[in-house]
Chains A and B, each alone.
Chain A
Amino acid sequence: MTAPALVDYADVVARYEPTLGLEVHVELSTNTKMFCGCATTFGAEPNTQVCPTCLGLPGSLPVVNRTAVESAIRIGLALNCSIAPWGRFARKNYFYPDMPKNFQTSQYDEPICVDGYMDVTLDDGEVVRVGIERAHMEEDTGKSLHVGGATGRIHGADYSLLDYNRAGVPLIEIVTRMIPGTGERAPEVARAYVTQLRDLIKSLGVSDVRMDQGSMRCDVNLSLSPAGSGVLGTRTETKNVNSLRSVERAVRYEMSRQAGVLDAGGEIVQETRHFEEQSGTTRAGRRKETSEDYRYFPEPDLVPIAPSESWVEELRGTLPEKPWERRARLQAEWGISDEELRDLVNAGAIDLISDTVAAGAPAGEARSWWVAYLAQQANARGVELAELPITPGQVARVIALVAAGDLNNKLARQVVDGVLAGEGEPDEVVESRGLTVVSDDGALIAAVDEALAAQPDVADKIRAGKVQAAGAIVGAVMKATRGQADAKRVRELIIERVGS
């Protein structure tokens, strides 16, 4: 059986209206797990961050991590949700080897955050309001590694290895309402939503939100309805969408695929599909013979979560400025264009520049250091800008030394090189490398006089009022002082000396 042909995207959007839904799982960066005291460090030796509770040993009991509840509430508040004054955890029952108890402790019909929204801004400035149905707390499962077999999945594997380090790590699942009416921009809206959600959660400091490490995972729900019909189509849920780009591609592919099925007179099967990163396609998961019945019921081992109003308000007070509002503010303060701002965002330079400004540097110079010289250095080292071994405070100090005339730009770069090489603070590098600008007029006058004497024709031109000719003398003086002279002072001295 061959799948119906994909439909050209322009054709899809001409004849179908997509409805999007996004479910995003965020792994919280709490020090300990959701229901026990085990560490949550990423990449630890398998099965070293486990205890009776997260292994589901007989007799063990869960205890709710207060910090995780706090994080959930803060995420909810940042998404304009209401915080439920009372709610219970529930057990979601199903058997799978990486689930220690064969049930997942989650929230079912009593989520902690409900009814929110986020205004998502697209590249051209269009704003789409995405409704948030709920955000709830749950525990992550362990990880399975299926060895042998063709698919890398449990069926057909020779054997499977289980790592329970991740079992019990706190997760927040954020579920949007259906997002209709995005038309041809559906893939872009999906990507922008996930991007903005990632930035928002990052600004709260509650998760690393690294899609590449799985601390943020996205499921894309999509259905098509014939344009103008108003009839909602059957949706598919695509999992394994592990990058922002994949979000966009998965939506686009599913739109083309579903249109193909519908055009061929077929029906969309409500199913879970997997996104294939390499081909950019989705494929059906194993078809379940019966629909899963999770037999949810309230978790009897836990007491209800009942956040007091005063606690919620206290947490509301800890919310930082929204990242996009902050960006707009900084754009205005720094006086830069939309395009320049986007470059800074893409370079990951916003926080660095902002912190450099906060450390006392003028915005223009701070920006110029980070996007020019430091960006080059990061590039050369193959690291992110933020990973360079120099702090915004150190950059600000270098800028201050230049402004005070203690360094010129060339020397300043050498100081930065020294800091990057681990030679210490900027002032220590200046000291140890002997990089101070020569500001002793006596020495400079001698050098200026020598240069004027060597080039009498230039000296005459200057005397005749051609001040721009002084550049040649400045160059000669700088060369003679091995760059350590203050060029501005040299220029002043040249005018003085030719006149005398």
Chain B
Amino acid sequence: MSLTRLTAAELAEKIASREVSAVEAAQAHLDRIAEVDGEVHAFLHVGTEAALANAALVDEQVAAGTALGPLAGVPLALKDVFTTADMPTTCGSKILEGWRPPYDATVTARLRAAGITILGKTNMDEFAMGSSTEHSAYGPTHNPWDLSRIPGGSGGGSAAALAAFEAPLAIGTDTGGSIRQPAAVTGTVGVKPTYGGVSRYGLVACASSLDQGGPCARTVLDAALLHEVIAGHDPLDSTSIDRPVPSVVEAARIGAQGDLSGLRVGVVKELGGEGYQPGVRASFDAALQRLEKLGAEVVEVSCPHFEYAMAAYYLILPSEVSSNLARFDAMRYGLRVDEGASAEEVMAATREAGFGPEVKRRIILGTYALSSGYYDAYYGQAQKVRTLISRDFSAAFAKADVLVSPTAPTTAFPLGEKVDDPLAMYLNDLATIPTNLAGVAGMSVPSGLAEEDGLPVGLQIMAPALGEAVMYRVGAAFEASRTADEGALVAPEVAR
């Protein structure tokens, strides 16, 4: 079996036992990237030399008997929104084209410390704004299930890299669904940890109060292994939680035994209504039956304020974006369009040329929402909705251990279909946005293929803040049961 088809856990074991060298593992994935990425376009940058150098170091350490982390030598695709001192960091934007950060993000540093081989940086919607990667300044990523379709977004590059077997592990960031929705439409696993669970230091901000880095993989166990590498308190991030990381690996292993008896799974009434593609709906219903079969009690819960989540999100996010992205002004780094005599003119010309339409749209929205006279009506009001949504979650988690919903309302849609219709694009994140507003945890696991188009569907599992263990347990149980019956979701061979 090809090394690229192995899970991260399997590959790590072979590297640790010297059955496979880390260099071989890295090279196999680099070869796969060379083979298929021309069509998939998951990567914006491939760091071949650094990847092989890391792998060689891991091999030396294995040979020397050095104790290494459980994922040492396993290759990984890093979303291009985390700073890397040895590779460019562009966030999918022209304004950062070629920028080499002088420092590593905390996540980057933890990956390196764990001996993980970073293959390169993955494509994304510009500054993580979008649900299709079509808003990348460097061209869209294609869904390995159907190259004419979107891989989701903003982390479409990371999800596509997994689905195309270019990497067994990836890192994404989730502001309103940017890890979970791509996972759903590519048939992979993606986790948005509790806000503050993974350090944001070196994660180029989209919306600071919503952004959260998280693990992406093809199996729940792999995601759990990666979760434990990147999570944990970071003194460089004031919003990072100073509490022990939940034991998600153990939870995933327990879950895989397939017993969920005693657990209550809440179906959020407000996330089960109109607007879902029939095949998505059907897959979700089947998932509920499967959860019951595993011993869980399925209950209905109501979160009445979720209907305002989208509106609140599109006030809070652009407001923070408008401020966070103000720093891109050509004075210190990045693109500089030197037209005009004054600093003000250079700033304006650079931002005009450097930002894409979606980013500009959100900067303008946010600037407006924060303006004097509008603040209370927009930003202030949205923050109140946010509080109400948190209360809805608290009430729901009093009745259920985890909540579930379809991750995204549709399967992967064709490239170009929604790129000029922002509202249609925003609706992709209807079910994922509430968790970001409340700071709770969420994951997407494959729930099968939609009957009408044969494309992957995702099941979203949500858990209270720092409740990742139960979330991973449910996800692993569901995955084990489903793959036992239907087999793992494998994208068609995209290139030969």
Is the C-beta of A154 less than 8 angstroms from some C-beta in chain B? yes
Residues of the B chain whose Cβ atoms lie less than 8 Å from the Cβ of A56: 327, 332
Q: From residue 235 to 278 of chain B, which have CB atoms closer than 8 A to chain A? A: 235-239
Is the C-beta of B459 less than 8 angstroms from some C-beta in chain A? no
Residues of the B chain whose Cβ atoms lie less than 8 Å from the Cβ of A61: 200-201, 236-238
Residues of the A chain whose Cβ atoms lie less than 8 Å from the Cβ of B367: 295
Residues of the A chain whose Cβ atoms lie less than 8 Å from the Cβ of B375: 295-297
Select the stretch in B96-104, B153-161, B477-485 that faces chain A.
B96-104
- Give the complex CA separation of A483 and B332 in angstroms: 70
Is the C-beta of A97 less than 8 angstroms from some C-beta in chain B? yes
0/1 interface trace, chain B 302-343, chain A, CB 8 Å (1 if under):
000000000000000001101100111101110000000011
Q: From residue 297 to 323 of chain A, which have CB atoms closer than 8 A to chain B? A: 297, 300-303
Q: From residue 88 to 132 of chain A, which have CB atoms closer than 8 A to chain B? A: 91, 93, 95, 97, 100-103
Is the C-beta of A55 less than 8 angstroms from some C-beta in chain B? yes
Is the C-beta of A62 less than 8 angstroms from some C-beta in chain B? yes
Whether A295 contacts B371 in the complex (CB less than 8 A), given A59-B205, A60-B201, comes out as: yes
- Give the complex CA separation of A95 and B329 in angstroms: 9
Task: Name B101's contact: one of A59, A91, A93, A301 (CB within 8 Å).
Answer: A59
Is the C-beta of B393 less than 8 angstroms from some C-beta in chain A? no
Q: Is the CB of A301 within 8 A of B208?
A: yes
Is the C-beta of A63 less than 8 angstroms from some C-beta in chain B? yes
Is the C-beta of B223 less than 8 angstroms from some C-beta in chain A? no
Interface-centre pick from B83, B89, B238, B319 (highest chain A CB count, 10 A):
B238
Q: From residue 9 to 57 of chain A, which have CB atoms closer than 8 A to chain B? A: 52, 55-57
Q: Is the CB of B202 within 8 A of A59?
A: yes
Q: Is the CB of B83 within 8 A of A95?
A: no
- Give the complex CA separation of A415 and B204 in angstroms: 65
Q: Is the CB of A295 within 8 A of B323?
A: yes
Is the C-beta of B209 less than 8 angstroms from some C-beta in chain A? yes
- Give the complex CA separation of A300 and B99 in angstroms: 25
Residues of the A chain whose Cβ atoms lie less than 8 Å from the Cβ of B284: none
Q: Is the CB of B323 within 8 A of A103?
A: yes
Residue of B nearest to A63 (CB): B238
Q: From residue 156 to 183 of chain B, which have CB atoms closer than 8 A to chain A? A: none
Is the C-beta of A479 less than 8 angstroms from some C-beta in chain B? no
Q: Is the CB of B101 within 8 A of A295?
A: no
Q: Is the CB of A58 within 8 A of B343?
A: no
Q: Is the CB of A97 within 8 A of B343?
A: yes
Residue of B nearest to A162 (CB): B331
Residues of the B chain whose Cβ atoms lie less than 8 Å from the Cβ of A162: 331
Task: Name A58's contact: one of B319, B320, B327, B371 (CB within 8 Å).
Answer: B327
Interface-centre pick from A61, A160, A296, A303 (highest chain B CB count, 10 A):
A61
0/1 interface trace, chain B 104-129, chain A, CB 8 Å (1 if under):
01000000000000000000000000
Q: Is the CB of B238 within 8 A of A95?
A: no
- Give the complex CA separation of A295 and B373 in angstroms: 10
Residues of the B chain whose Cβ atoms lie less than 8 Å from the Cβ of A60: 103, 201-202
Count residues on chain B whose CB falls below 8 Å from chain A CBs.
45
Residues of the B chain whose Cβ atoms lie less than 8 Å from the Cβ of A93: 322-323, 326, 370
Q: Is the CB of B238 within 8 A of A303?
A: yes
Residues of the B chain whose Cβ atoms lie less than 8 Å from the Cβ of A101: 326-327
Is the C-beta of A261 less than 8 angstroms from some C-beta in chain B? no
- Give the complex CA separation of A63 and B327 in angstroms: 18
- Give the complex CA separation of A61 and B322 in angstroms: 17
Is the C-beta of A339 less than 8 angstroms from some C-beta in chain B? no
- A63 → chain B closest CB, angstroms: 5
Task: Name A52's contact: one of B96, B103, B203, B323 (CB within 8 Å).
Answer: B103
- Give the complex CA separation of A63 and B239 in angstroms: 9
Residues of the A chain whose Cβ atoms lie less than 8 Å from the Cβ of B476: none
Residues of the B chain whose Cβ atoms lie less than 8 Å from the Cβ of A303: 238-239
Whether A102 contacts B239 in the complex (CB less than 8 A), given A59-B203, A297-B370, comes out as: no
Is the C-beta of A400 less than 8 angstroms from some C-beta in chain B? no
Residues of the A chain whose Cβ atoms lie less than 8 Å from the Cβ of B329: 95, 97, 102
Q: Is the CB of A59 within 8 A of B83?
A: yes
Q: Is the CB of A59 within 8 A of B82?
A: yes
- Give the complex CA separation of A95 and B346 in angstroms: 12
Is the C-beta of B385 less than 8 angstroms from some C-beta in chain A? no
Is the C-beta of B344 less than 8 angstroms from some C-beta in chain A? yes
Q: Is the CB of A102 within 8 A of B327?
A: yes
Residues of the B chain whose Cβ atoms lie less than 8 Å from the Cβ of A160: 343
Residues of the B chain whose Cβ atoms lie less than 8 Å from the Cβ of A58: 83, 89, 91, 96, 99, 101, 204-205, 327-328, 333
Interface-centre pick from A56, A59, A61, A300 (highest chain B CB count, 10 A):
A59
- Give the complex CA separation of A103 and B236 in angstroms: 20
Q: Is the CB of A295 within 8 A of B370?
A: yes
Residues of the B chain whose Cβ atoms lie less than 8 Å from the Cβ of A102: 326-327, 329
Residue of A nearest to B203 (CB): A59
0/1 interface trace, chain B 200-238, chain A, CB 8 Å (1 if under):
111111011100000000000000000000000001111
What are the nearest 4 A-B pairs in CB distance? A102-B326, A295-B370, A300-B208, A300-B209
* Interface residue ranges, B against A (CB under 8 Å): 82-83, 89, 91, 96, 99, 101-103, 105, 200-205, 207-209, 235-239, 319-320, 322-323, 326-329, 331-333, 342-344, 347, 367, 370-372, 375, 379
| 21 pairs, CB–CB < 8 Å, chain A vs chain B | A52-B101, A52-B102, A58-B91, A59-B101, A59-B204, A61-B238, A63-B236, A63-B237, A93-B323, A97-B331, A100-B327, A101-B326, A103-B323, A295-B322, A295-B323, A295-B371, A297-B375, A300-B239, A300-B320, A301-B238, A303-B238
Question: Besides the contacts A93-B323, A301-B208, what 11 more A-B pairs have beta carbons closer than 8 Å?
Answer: A59-B83, A61-B238, A93-B322, A101-B326, A154-B342, A154-B343, A293-B372, A297-B320, A300-B209, A300-B320, A303-B239
